[in-house]
């Protein structure tokens, strides 16, 4: 009997997977806000969560800049989003967060092109990449995820999402594959960023941390104003930005 049940288990999991994944991925951005006339920048928009975020913003009518380090990949995705949404205002601009010269050039070009930036999604990031340094000599994770992306108004955790993030670890790739039926899709992973970017009336919660489209708990260390100030000062110092 147990043997039969074990044999049936994979079949049951396969059938039930969409329901199980739905149960585990709570948090959907239900805002119906339209974004025509708004300008958005999504970093790392050529794949994963960033791509889905950019698609949704374009669907709602925003002019969306895909800020990517690989222009060719970015152009392919821009075409795909234009075709899918009918919004031709999906533009690709070069941005390599592992190089502060590239970040400054991106910012200067953007300021020359646009008067306003309404939505900034600092999405690009790396995980578990082999030890390497950015063009400015910072360790890659520190350089790209923290110093490169700068300071965000909201911080969000997308949940565990099936994306290219685990590309540097065979073990994690294998784990992601094994559990792929249950972890979030990139579209589900994009919901919290979208929620924070477009939901009206969230201003009073600025600076909070969000997960599954709600304010989420953060550790005592992350709430410590002295540590935050020190991190800010050290980051400015590393980047040669005058402190204020």
Q: Which residues bind ligand NAP (CB under 6 A)?
A: 43-44, 46-50, 69-70, 73, 95-98, 123-127, 144, 157-158, 160-161, 163-165
Residues 93, 110 contacting (CB under 8 angstroms) = yes
What is the closest distance, in whole angstroms, from the C-beta atom of residue 22 to ligand NAP in the complex?
Answer: 17
Smallest gap from residue 113 Cβ to ligand NAP (A) = 19
d(CA 77, CA 75): 5
Whichever of 118 and 187 has its CB closer to ligand NAP, that residue is: 187
SS3 of 121, please?
A: strand
Sheet holding 209-211, edge to edge: 155-157, 209-211, 214-215
Task: Kindly tell me which of 38 and 74 has the beta carbon lying closer to ligand NAP.
Answer: 74
Q: How far is the CB of 206 from ligand NAP (least distance, A)?
A: 20
* Closest distance of CB 183 from ligand NAP, Å: 7
Closer CB to ligand NAP, 92 or 198, in the complex: 92
157 vs 173, beta carbon nearer ligand NAP: 157
Candidates 38, 55, 198; CA nearest to 115 is 38
Q: Which residues pair with 156 in a beta bridge?
A: 210
Of the candidates 134, 15, 123, which has an alpha carbon nearest to the alpha carbon of residue 65?
A: 123
């Amino acid at each position: 009997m147990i043997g039969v049940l074990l044999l049936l288990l994979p079949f049951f999991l396969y059938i039930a997977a969409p329901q199980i994944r739905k149960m585990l991925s709570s948090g959907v951005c239900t805002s119906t806000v339209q974004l025509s006339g708004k300008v958005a920048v999504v970093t790392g928009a050529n794949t994963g969560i960033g791509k889905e975020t950019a698609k949704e913003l374009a669907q709602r009518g925003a002019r969306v800049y895909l800020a990517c380090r690989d222009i060719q990949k970015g152009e392919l995705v821009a075409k795909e989003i234009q075709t899918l949404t009918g919004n031709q205002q999906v533009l690709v601009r070069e941005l390599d967060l592992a190089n502060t010269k590239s970040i400054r050039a991106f910012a200067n070009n953007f300021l020359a092109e646009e008067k306003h930036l309404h939505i900034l999604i600092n999405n690009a990031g790396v995980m578990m990449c082999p030890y390497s340094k950015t063009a400015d000599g910072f360790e890659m994770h520190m350089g790209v995820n923290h110093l490169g992306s700068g300071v965000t108004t909201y911080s969000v955790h997308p949940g565990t999402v099936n994306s290219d993030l685990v590309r540097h670890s065979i073990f994690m790739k294998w784990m992601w594959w094994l559990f792929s039926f249950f972890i979030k899709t990139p579209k589900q992973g994009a919901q919290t960023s979208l929620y924070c970017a477009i939901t009206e009336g969230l201003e009073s919660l600025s600076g909070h941390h969000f997960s599954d489209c709600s304010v989420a708990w953060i550790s005592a260390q992350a709430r410590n104003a002295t540590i935050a100030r020190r991190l800010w000062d050290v980051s400015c110092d590393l980047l040669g930005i005058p402190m204020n």
